[in-house]
Amino acid sequence: MFLLVQLAGSALVLVAFIAAQADRLAPHSLAYLALNLVGSLALAASAIAEAQWGFLVLEAAWSAASLAGLRRSLRRAGSRGPDADA
């Protein structure tokens, strides 16, 4: 079970990274940050379940950075308002 969680989490993080490298996703886009956040949370959960503390530290930091970026992006999008492009 935890192997599937690890594979799914890894896939999400890698899809985001590869898409950014191919200029298909901007590193500050909501999609990129959301993929990284969900993927790293899945990996962190797996690390907790398997007592892999070094891996947990890495994934906790990755999750925190992704969450901070996501909050910043959402705040910026909200401050522009719905008529910002008009």
pLDDT band for position 81 (50/70/90)?
low
Tell if the pTM clears 0.75, that is, is over it: yes
Please state, in angstroms and as integers, the Cα–Cα distance from residue 38 to each residue in 47, 80, 83, 86, following that order: 14, 26, 30, 33
| Average pLDDT over every residue of 74-79 | 84
Tell the residue number behind the tokens 């959301």, with chain if given: 34
Tokens 């401050």 — which residue? 79
Q: What is the pLDDT of residues 33-70, one digit of tens each?
A: 999 999 999 999 999 999 999 999 999 999 999 999 99
